[in-house]
Amino acid sequence: MDRMAGNWSLAVSGVLAFLLLINAGQRIRAWYHLRHFKGPLTASFSRFWLIRHSLAGRLQWDFAEVTDKYGMCNVKVMQRCQRLTGIGSLARIGPKHLLTSDPEVMRRILAVRSPYRRSEWYLGARFNPKYDNCGSQRDEEKHSKLRAKMAAGVRSTLRDILPQLINLVFR
């Protein structure tokens, strides 16, 4: 009986060690993928940094601090960052998450036919948790269809209100 219990504990220990090894491998892979981008150390390996600052209730200020401190790739890897991404003003805030405060970078990332894809973060932009809207749709084909349906209405609305918005901004 004791021998059988020893075999079970050995098997469970082996499975746990295997799972820990897989987890460590995934974390190293995630770090390696975006290693050129600076950010808080814990953000390189886990979402702990994001979770901790989200729960603290001051995420927008923490994001501003991160982009101020880490927002540019350091000089040694700036050329490599620009060669890999075409842009340099990014800070790492999670294993697979980058942050920028540069409008030009945002324009490039969110452009039509951009090679970048929306992360699960966009699901938080849903007005109804069961249904996607144009801002939360992650599937490129469905997103394009939604944009095509909305295009005429958006164009005519912008055409009507754009002069008023410009007057408001530049008073």
Q: What is the pLDDT of residue 22?
A: 92
Averaged pLDDT score across all residues of the chain: 78
pLDDT digit string, tens, across residues 81-105 = 555 555 557 888 888 888 888 777 7
The angle at the Cα of 30, spanning 27 to 35, to the nearest 5 degrees, equals 120
125 lies in a domain? no
pLDDT digit string, tens, across residues 134-165 = 778 888 888 888 888 877 776 666 677 777 77
41 and 108 assigned to the same domain: yes
90 and 136 assigned to the same domain: no
pLDDT digit string, tens, across residues 41-67 = 888 888 888 889 889 988 888 888 888
- Give the pTM: 0.60
59, burial (CB in 10 Å: exposed 0-12, middle 13-18, buried 19+): middle
127 lies in a domain? no
Q: Please check whether residue 72 is in contact with residue 89, taking contact to mean a CB–CB distance below 8 angstroms.
A: yes
The one-character DSSP state at 1 is: -
For residue 86, report the phi and psi dihedrals to the nearest 5 degrees. 85, -5
Q: How many domains does the chain fold into?
A: 3
40 and 102 assigned to the same domain: yes
Q: pLDDT grade, residue 19 (50/70/90)?
A: very high
